Structure 1
Amino acid sequence: MRIKKVKKRKVKIQLDHSICHLSVIPVRRQPEDQSEVVTQLLYGETCQIIKRKNNSWVKIQLDYDSYEGWVDPKQLYFITAEEHEKYSNTTAHCLEYSQAIISDDVSQPILMGSSLPHFDGMNYKLPSGKYIFSGQVLDSADLLLTPEIITKISCKYLNAPYLWGGRSPFGIDCSGFTQIVFKMLGIYLPRDAYQQAEYGETIDFVEAASIGDLAYF
């Protein structure tokens, strides 16, 4: 009997998690390049893939605030579920307006508010490798929250231009500003202003407000 050699069939594994390995990635309302930007992924932030359109677009849900939108998949770094679990809860963030990260074959800028997973004081890790970061870092796990630190972090965004859907010092909107500041301080806020207005406790009079309270109108 002659044994027939069977070709091995290639199995395509589809990964449903991703991490941002670029400085910033636009997240759009519709799967079109001309569609409005509703939010941004900053370096080191993770998301889940919830829908695909051909090979041109993927609909994502950000892990931090569950916000949804469409992204060009070429801009994402896809990871396994195990890697996603390992890198999705980061407390260390870049405190520099813009700062270069360095590895053996990469040198690129990242922006204030970017996540630095497993930061040890000089190095941090991503699924793509180990990187050196020599700038200022704010780790909310070791932070004593005071009015002074809230003011200090907020003032770092002075003169940042307004950008609808933005979350970086190169372009930011009102709710993106409050969200990213409080994220670095270890306090969760939803993405949009109407969501934030329903979060927390209501203050009846402006005279009772203190540093860190938010006003909506």
Structure 2
Amino acid sequence: MKYGICNLSTIPLRMIADHTSEMISQILFGDHYKVLQENKEWVKIRLEFDHCEGWIESIQHTEISEDYYDDLNNSETIVTNELVDFIEDEKHRLSSVLLGSRLPFYAEQSFNLLDEAFIFEGNVTSQKRSKASIINSAFLYINTPFLWGGRTSFGIDSSGFTQMVYRLNGYSLLRKASEQATQGEVLSFIEESEPGDLAFFDDSEGEIIHVGIILANHHIIHCSGKVRIDQLDHSGIYNSDLKKHTHKLRVIKKIF
């Protein structure tokens, strides 16, 4: 078994080994993974963070040892808490890192990735935080445009949005809305929910395809076209701009 880590700000994760293939997710700086398959130009990987599988270009693959992979699994997960910031290497070269990127073995404004040392002077987070903090993190993404497979403040999808908001607060969600719906505790009514809980929505065939974060006073923040705030009722999401319901409510989950 081979292993790898992302040393770029973001790498597209594709459904199949082709540049024209659908982007199913994005790997952020510091995310590590197992190599499942490889050829001359592409590597199929499984992310450790959410077990999402897909293909990346071999030229963007940085190999690590099994011991290093295990050390990452056993170390504290510390992530950046700035929309965009920079890390500085030993030669004073700057590289951008995006909100929610992991800084391996971070301590006292520095960290190491393989044999290279970096400085990061921005804000970080690592501890499990309150539901009030979940809401504050969600607002960081307001007006972020929708991007299928996106996980950043430059483009994000509905489950990428909820996953990243929870990651910033010390909790791990799976990648797809249908997968996230298997996590946590089911709530019977909206009235039982608290701001920070998740609401899931399905299509005409009963497949869960959308997720958002519940706010106070029967509102929800979610990504539909962009990260936006809409009304939430027992039927689903009511879009005040379109003056109609756009998503049908399936289930409400309390993650913690």
TM-score range, shorter chain: 0.7 to 0.9
**Contact persistence 1:90–1:115 (CA under 8 A):** no
Which residue number corresponds to residue 168 of structure 1?
Answer: 152
Which residue number corresponds to residue 86 of structure 1?
Answer: 71
Which residue number corresponds to residue 115 of structure 1?
Answer: 102
Structure 1, unpaired ranges of 5+: 1-14
Which residue number corresponds to residue 43 of structure 1?
Answer: 29
Relative to total residues, which structure has the larger helix share, 1 or 2? 1
Q: CA RMSD in A?
A: 1.3
Q: Which runs of 4+ in 1 moved over 6 A?
A: none
Structure 2, unpaired ranges of 5+: 202-256
Which residue number corresponds to residue 126 of structure 2?
Answer: 139
SS at match of 1:33: coil
Which residue number corresponds to residue 179 of structure 2?
Answer: 195
Taking the aligned partners of 2:172 and 2:133, their CA distance within structure 1 comes to 16
The aligned length equals 199
Counterpart of 1:148, as a letter, is: A
SS at match of 1:178: helix
TM-score, normalised via structure 1 length:
0.88
Taking the aligned partners of 1:148 and 1:177, their CA distance within structure 2 comes to 17
Which residue number corresponds to residue 30 of structure 1?
Answer: 16
Tell me the CA shift for residue 80 of structure 1.
0.7
Equivalent position to 1:59, from 30, 41, 44: 44
Which residue number corresponds to residue 126 of structure 1?
Answer: 113
Taking the aligned partners of 2:5 and 2:76, their CA distance within structure 1 comes to 12
Tell me the CA shift for residue 147 of structure 1.
2.5
Tell me the CA shift for residue 90 of structure 1.
4.1
Tell me the CA shift for residue 87 of structure 1.
2.3
**Contact persistence 1:189–1:196 (CA under 8 A):** yes
**Contact persistence 2:132–2:196 (CA under 8 A):** no
Shift in CA distance, 121/148, structure 1 to aligned 2, threshold 3 Å: farther
Relative to total residues, which structure has the larger strand share, 1 or 2? 2
Counterpart of 2:153, as a letter, is: P
Counterpart of 2:136, as a letter, is: K
Higher relative contact order (CA 8 A, sep 6+): 1
Tell me the CA shift for residue 36 of structure 1.
0.5
SS at match of 1:202: strand
Tell me the CA shift for residue 206 of structure 1.
0.6
Counterpart of 1:172, as a letter, is: I
Percent identity, aligned pairs only?
A: 35
